[in-house]
Amino acid sequence: MKIKIINTSAHELPSYETIASAGMDLRASIQESVILKPLERAIIKTGLFIELPIGVEAQVRPRSGLAAKKGITVLNAPGTIDADYRGEIGVILVNLSNEAYTVENGERIAQLVIAKHERAEWSQVEILSETQRGAGGFGSTGIK
């Protein structure tokens, strides 16, 4: 699938690191470093603008290494970029650690996954079919 992209950053286009990678790394495109104090959040710009076809979304997801090692994650994960959005891709980063973290220009801050999606059409009914699980949720299947 070809996707139109404008890159106003000084960095290379996002790319897949391996043949089996689902996501492409997004890099910070910022004039000055951004310091995220514990529990602080900020929108970090990427310098990227995309044009997705209808029926496709771009999902902004955390980078597992950044989350595990530094406690930095994407606040609204996954963030959705709709096909009709034409603005700059921004990543809402949050610091869930106990130490300040500095985001640098060019740093890999998140990953972008391109995914097809369906549009639902509601069919309002009075009764839903029965299942073994029923209305059980939030750990009801045996996770304690």
Where in the chain are the domains? 21-116
pLDDT at 28 over 90: yes
Two tokens, residue 99? 């130490």
- Confidence category of residue 25, pLDDT binned at 50, 70, 90: very high
Instruction: For domain 21-116, give the CATH superfamily.
Output: Deoxyuridine triphosphatase (dUTPase) (2.70.40.10)
Q: pTM for this one? A: 0.89
Structure confidence by residue, pLDDT tens digits, 67-87: 999 999 999 999 999 999 999
pLDDT at 143 over 90: no
Any long-range contacts for 27-30 (C-beta under 8 Å, 24+ apart)? 27/106, 27/107, 27/108, 27/109, 28/91, 28/103, 28/104, 28/105, 28/106, 28/107, 28/109, 29/105, 29/106, 30/103, 30/104, 30/105
Give the CA angle between residues 39, 45, 49 to the nearest 5°.
Answer: 140
Rounded CA gap, 26 and 45, in Å? 10
Arithmetic mean of pLDDT, 98-108: 98
